[in-house]
Structure 1
Amino acid sequence: MITIRRSRPDEGDRNIEIWRSAVDATHDFLTPADRLAIDDMVCGFLPQAPLWVAVDENDRPLAFMLIDGGHMEALFVDPAHRGTGIGAALVRHGLALHPKMTTDVNAQNDQAVRFYERMGFRQTGRSPVDGKGRPYPLIHLEHLN
């Protein structure tokens, strides 16, 4: 059984572990230098970020989501638990809080693009680079109820 709750400060290392394993499983388009630079940035803010976490029956985080002002900044699922509905449960939780939630997805991450489309998100625009100006195009999405 999965429960969704707010993250706790003592879960920072686990959430970074989820992030790293999820990125390594899905973001093969990143250059090694960019992967390291992003890792440094994530390690600097993720442990203190106000995350929603999906936890197992032992209260161990398996996935997390970060929403800021109705925009989903991050959704990452431990690869060992992908395809089990955890990501969808987190997105549904976010949509209950923000029915017109928006998010951005790397255009090179086909699996994520398809996931968000199945969840009812539609493309509202594109950017040729990511938020830091790196050459990773983004697709801007909004949930349309």
Structure 2
Amino acid sequence: MKPFKIDHVQKSEYPILVEVWEASVRATHDFLKEEDIVYFKPLILNTYLDAVELRCARDGKGNILGFSGVADNNLEMLFIHPDSRGMGIGRKLLDHAIDKLQVQKVDVNEQNEQALGFYEHYGFEVVGRSALDASGKPYPILHMKLKNI
């Protein structure tokens, strides 16, 4: 397993985060339509990244392998480049978000069974459901929180 570290993100690195986001979404969100990815991409770059506290996982050369975004004790985003999956990056970013940024909640696309299983494995449970996502699109969202909170 390659070594990596959790680090802060510079605004100048946002385009790299969007590349990681798009690669990750294409690998894991097969329920999204192409027009949805095109719709969300500028929102990620120009709005969503500024709305969260960002952390990334970097390899030994400083390359970003994945990232997380937190706001109000909620994990708003966690994306790992498909080439870096299975290396423990998601777990490390989640552990950091829980331990250092006090994350207690996460919202997950209902159709994203991999993410749902990942969060359940790390102690989250479903506590609610919304029929539409935050943009009003027909992608149901499961609201999860850490057990025992």
Does the alignment pair 1:75 with 2:78? yes
The residue number in structure 2 matching 1:93 is 96
The residue number in structure 1 matching 2:136 is 133
Contact 1:13/1:47 (8 A) holds in 2: no
Letter in 1 for 2:97: G
Shift in Å, 1:100: 5.3
Give me the TM-score of the superposition, normalised by structure 2. Answer: 0.90
The residue number in structure 2 matching 1:103 is 106
Q: Percent identity?
A: 34
Runs of 4 or more consecutive aligned structure 1 residues displaced over 2 Å after TM superposition: 45-50, 97-100
SS, match of residue 129 in structure 1: coil
Letter in 1 for 2:95: R
1:23 to 19, 22, 25: 25
SS, match of residue 66 in structure 2: strand
**RMSD (Å) for aligned C-alpha atoms:** 1.5
Aligned residues between the structures: 145
The residue number in structure 1 matching 2:55 is 52
SS, match of residue 77 in structure 2: strand
The residue number in structure 2 matching 1:6 is 8
Deviations 1:72-108 (A, max 9, x none): 1100000001111100000000110245510100000
Q: Hey, what's the Cα distance between the residues in 2 that align with 1:87 and 1:126? A: 23
Q: Hey, what's the Cα distance between the residues in 2 that align with 1:37 and 1:10? A: 22
Unaligned ranges ≥5, structure 2: none
SS, match of residue 75 in structure 1: strand
SS, match of residue 13 in structure 1: helix
Q: Hey, what's the Cα distance between the residues in 1 that align with 2:105 and 2:71? A: 10
Give me the TM-score of the superposition, normalised by structure 1. Answer: 0.93
The residue number in structure 1 matching 2:34 is 32
Shift in Å, 1:43: 2.2
Contact 1:16/1:46 (8 A) holds in 2: no
Unaligned ranges ≥5, structure 1: none
Deviations 1:19-54 (A, max 9, x none): 010011111111222221111211213564541001
